[in-house]
Amino acid sequence: MIETTLSCPCGSGLTFTECCQLVHSNQGKATTAEALMRARYSAFAVGNIDFLYNTFHPTTRRFQHKDAIQQWAQENKWMQLNIIKATFSTVEFEAHYLDSTLQVQIHHEKSTFKRQGNLWYYVDGR
């Protein structure tokens, strides 16, 4: 786990405790698609696999496997999140990380989110 007084992995400039940890403990604190995206990135960085799994939209969650999510989270060193563009229900971002061979990689994705009740969920990305 991340030291809670360190900067949040999402790059907000706040501490992890003041930022994404709040969303990890209460998904309803993510009031926008971008806020959920940032919290999901931070969850990869700190290894919060349950949060990642639970924030997949219920219609797509059954296709996810916690073991695969955990492997992806743990085999990479998450370095930086850049939000390129955010709309009401989409977030385009670049996630910079070191892969298992210590090569710098950039995962560029446009993610789609859906609000159900007062909670945002990740639907898919391309």
Intra-chain end-to-end CA distance of the chain, in Å: 29
Measured torsion, CA atoms of residues 30, 60, 48, 89, in degrees rounded to the nearest 10? -30
pLDDT tens-digit series, residues 12-56? 999 999 999 999 999 999 999 999 999 999 999 999 999 999 999
Furthest C-alpha separation in the chain: 42
Average pLDDT value for residue range 69-92: 97
Q: State the pLDDT confidence band at 69, using cuts at 50, 70 and 90.
A: very high
Question: Is the separation of the CB atoms in 29 and 19 below 8 Å?
Answer: no
The full set of domains in the chain, from first to last, is 20-125 (3.10.450.50)
pLDDT score, position 5? 72
pLDDT at residue 3 greater than cutoff 70? no
pLDDT score, position 109? 98
At 41, the amino acid letter reads: Y
